Structure 1
Amino acid sequence: MKSAELPSLLLLPPPPRPAGPLELSAAYRPTLESVIAKLKDSSSKGSNDGSTLIIAVGAPVLSGQFRRHKSLAWPEQQSLLAGLYSLVSVVCARLRVATEADGGPGSVDARVVLVDHDAAKRIPEDFKLAIEPNNTVVVDLTTFVAAYHPWKQIFSVGSEAGHKQLSTYLRMYEGIQALSQDQLITVDGGLTLNSESLNSVSASPTTTPHSVVCLGGTFDHLHPGHKLLLTAAILLLKVPTEGSAEPCSFVVGITGDELLKNKKYAEFVQPWEDRAMGVIEFLSSMLELQKQGWKAGATGPKITKKDGEITALFRSGTISVSCVQIQDAFGPTITQENMDALVVSGETRSGGAAVNAKRKELGWHPLQIFEVDVLSAEEITDEQPTKTDNFASKISSTAIRKMRADSHV
């Protein structure tokens, strides 16, 4: 991860069950409000950069007895991601905090990382801290601790579950980074009521992973909507073992500059290469696992560039991310036959149908379509939902460009 200053970590206890919008808001909103307000204040003082916040949700996300045969229930996990990014957006709108990457002083670039951890299972005293990825992009707590460091601050929730989680984490983190007391910050937690057993996670239908997953968009001024799509999409990847002949592939079609000339405030659209590198940098939050963490000297992914395409290799070459410049609505989905899955949002589902119609004309197999929830623009209450003031300005690339244009007047 490339950042002018170290990221901060927020450890979130397992989500409530069911994890609907109301339940997530009750459980996590007080925590997010406190952490984001503190980061806004600290990043506004004497820095040209905002803060980066890794929100690690520790829960038994994966099922499967053996490390290399893990699976997850994709609809359930993408819904959790959508709920969390919606909460982040609503909170940031209320606090007037910019949410995009490189948002400037006072901004908070929040990134949600799922960590497979069952608090009910005791970690042995003689555990070995090592990076041991499985066949998914979701890592267990041991691998997360070994690869994600150092931190500017570590936030934890002031509840019984939060204290237990922090204690476990710090025991594993000992020796990686010397932390002062003012780097460990306890914040208020919300109310969590579980009306379902956590065992129902393993009972949820699992999703077949894929070797080649595709996604398209403009990815201008990377904001929570983009982060949700990218994170949900990589959860579908079937990661091979190190040394396999072919990596799994995540193909990201990114609209070329020429097609964006008529966008509102087009002069503030980021150049294609900047947008592509922004996608790769964001994905490193979930894909780049190194013992050095993000210390100076860490090698980072292997990146190759050619005309209209940037490719990055992660996890010892087992995951390939290709950002491809597109000049039409179809991009690589009708030029590359070897694809398995296409990720769309509720707003772009018609595009998925059009892609498969084109592939049928070519005599190719259709892509399996996975639809990600749209971020909610409503306040979450037990009464009538109400629109959050200026919410759209926090998650719309057009509105972000407008704000930047206004600041140059």
Structure 2
Amino acid sequence: MAMFHTGILVLTSPISLIPSRIAPVLAATAKIVKDTLYVHLHPGLGFTGNYVQTKPAFIAANHEVSQLLTNLYTKSSHVCSHLDVRVVLSNVKNHTSTQQPFSSVQILSEPPEVVLTDYRIIDVNQSNLYMQCLEKYTLGCYTCKPNLRAIFLPAGIDYLDSASCSDMDDSSLCESIPSYSDVVLGGTFDRLHSAHKILLSMSCLLTGKRLLIGVADGDLLKSKVLKELIEPYQQRVEKLRKFLLDVNPAIQYDLVPLRDPYGPAITDPNINCIVVSDETQKGAEAVNRKRRENVMYTMKKMLRI
């Protein structure tokens, strides 16, 4: 039975190997955490002898990271569907920065009670030191509950799935994700699930400054199946904002009601990228036609990277 309501999982494996290892790691974590699980990425975080690398590091926002996000959220929906998983992207950047990541402690909406990691302890005599260092590292990045516990997941829980690693050597995965100052997307965002989280996380990776999100309301909901079961607009917006601020609080989030197929995307001249799914591609093309009619730049269309 899970012992903690909230936790944070620090993944130290190389980005390329996480997809093949994440399922059993999540399964083991789900036995310890039962409600909200944050995921923090730090490939190569080291605990070696008396030396401990305790400072967080920036990660390049490339296609390998975007593929990882899709893989992680998809597997979490199968392995631990009861957990609200949120991958923090505050230290994932698509541009170089001289500022240290987490220069100030990030406030999380659900402060963790426990920190877990996939790091493998080689010298068991150093276990207590490693746990203290892991606690210190986490407290330096995030707000946590008092008396934060540290747990090293047991050895032997990971495996290599060759199917998951088929694209590891693809050089295109190292290509950086483009950055746009003002990004827009729209949706209903009713009861956030893994597909929502993938779309929103990809949008955060693309955004350099502002993310404008149109949240369906009014007439746009009339054609929805079982529309009477859709959560009220304000409730959906509050959950959406809470998720986004947990993922990356450095971005400006503008959440507005979307009552027609176009919304603010045809009136805001600063928007230079629209994020779409397979279902909304045609809508994005219609929005760009309207922008041309209004003598505005057309937006770059990104299909969920």
Category of TM-score, reference length = shorter chain: 0.7 to 0.9
* Within-5 A mapping of 1:267-346: 267-288=228-249, 315=250, 319-346=251-278
Question: Which segment drifts farther, 270-279 or 147-156?
Answer: 147-156
1:48 match: none
Residue type of the partner of 1:216? G
1:12 and 1:157 in contact (8 A); partners too: yes
> Within 2, Cα distance between the matches of 1:10 and 1:343?
28
2:26 match: 32
Residue type of the partner of 2:134? Y
1:254 and 1:276 in contact (8 A); partners too: yes
Unaligned runs of 5+ in 2: 45-57
1:388 match: none
> Within 2, Cα distance between the matches of 1:261 and 1:33?
39
3-state SS in 1 of match to 2:213: strand
2:216 and 2:257 in contact (8 A); partners too: yes
2:125 is the counterpart of 1:159 = no
How far apart are residue 75 of structure 1 and its match?
3.1
2:134 match: 169
How far apart are residue 320 of structure 1 and its match?
2.3
2:140 is the counterpart of 1:147 = no
1:236 match: 206
Unaligned runs of 5+ in 1: 41-50, 61-69, 98-106, 118-133, 239-247, 289-314, 374-409
1:216 and 1:254 in contact (8 A); partners too: yes
Residue type of the partner of 1:190? D
> Within 2, Cα distance between the matches of 1:139 and 1:35?
34
How far apart are residue 285 of structure 1 and its match?
0.4
Q: Which has the higher strand share?
A: 2
How far apart are residue 279 of structure 1 and its match?
1.1
How far apart are residue 74 of structure 1 and its match?
4.2
> Within 1, Cα distance between the matches of 2:166 and 2:255?
42
2:36 match: 52
> Within 2, Cα distance between the matches of 1:166 and 1:197?
31
Q: TM-score scaled to structure 1, two decimals?
A: 0.57
Residue type of the partner of 1:325? P
> Within 1, Cα distance between the matches of 2:241 and 2:266?
23
> Within 2, Cα distance between the matches of 1:140 and 1:9?
24
1:404 match: none
1:13 match: 12
2:66 match: 78
> Within 2, Cα distance between the matches of 1:165 and 1:281?
32
- 1:40-98 CA-to-partner distances (Å, cap 9, x unmatched) read 4xxxxxxxxxx1110112238xxxxxxxxx89444332222111111111213xxxx4x
Among candidates 188, 191, 194, match of residue 159 of structure 2? 191
* Within-5 A mapping of 1:196-235: 204-235=174-205
- 1:199-236 CA-to-partner distances (Å, cap 9, x unmatched) read x79x9333442211101100011111111111111112
Residue type of the partner of 2:207? L
2:224 match: 263
Aligned residues: 274
> Within 2, Cα distance between the matches of 1:229 and 1:354?
20
How far apart are residue 237 of structure 1 and its match?
2.0
Question: Quick one: structure 1 residues 347 and 195, their matched pair in 2 at CA, closer, same or farther if it must change by over 3 Å?
Answer: closer
> Within 2, Cα distance between the matches of 1:84 and 1:140?
28
Among candidates 267, 272, 280, match of residue 348 of structure 1? 280
How far apart are residue 172 of structure 1 and its match?
3.1
Q: TM-score scaled to structure 2, two decimals?
A: 0.74
> Within 2, Cα distance between the matches of 1:165 and 1:360?
58
Residue type of the partner of 1:85? Y
Residue type of the partner of 1:346? D
